[in-house]
Amino acid sequence: MGVSYYTKEGLEKLKKELEQMKSVERPRISQQIAEARDKGDLSENAEYDAAKEAQGLLEMKISKLEETLSNARLMDSSKIDTSKVMVLATVKIKNLKNGATMTYKLVSESEADLKSGKISISSPIGKGLSGKKVGETAAIQTPAGMMEFEIMDITFD
């Protein structure tokens, strides 16, 4: 798993999620296991099996999140080449076919949220725009066919 770059908010969100799993969900599942164990015969105890399974899934999530965090880096906007499209850039693009303009922020896979205009840098559009400069055109294969976008503006906030 390679290094991923995050915004300060994105990194905080991951840390909060991990903290929630460790301090709230983990003790709650341990409690459920203890309660199910107190009910006696474990061989026919569905509650015990379900709680053990939930515990296994939670531990997997925790270790995956810990791995993600160990490879997470905070994006330092002072060291960015702001002339090119890259992760954490907000890009205004114009569809050359119909003249429509759109603005997207390119983020890591886990921060992508189309409703709030955040698209993954590893999505087809993210990859197609990556490395381009203002005034350049990106030809991108989309589900709707080949589309051309002109880079209108690049900002980093």
The pLDDT tens digits along the chain (157 residues) read 566 777 777 788 889 999 999 999 999 999 999 988 888 777 778 888 899 999 999 999 999 999 888 888 776 666 666 778 888 789 999 999 999 999 999 888 878 888 888 988 888 888 899 889 999 999 998 888 899 999 999 888 7
Specify the domain boundaries for CATH 3.10.50.30 within the chain.
Answer: 77-155
Q: How far apart are the first and last CA of the chain?
A: 27
Helices (H), the chain: 8-20, 26-38, 46-70, 124-129
Specify the domain boundaries for CATH 1.10.287.180 within the chain.
Answer: 4-74
pLDDT at 23: 96
Task: Decide yes or no: CATH 3.30.70.1280 for domain 4-74.
Answer: no
Distance CA 129, CA 137 (A): 9
CATH number of 77-155: 3.10.50.30
Distance CA 116, CA 7 (A): 15
**pTM score, whole prediction:** 0.56
Distance CA 26, CA 18 (A): 11
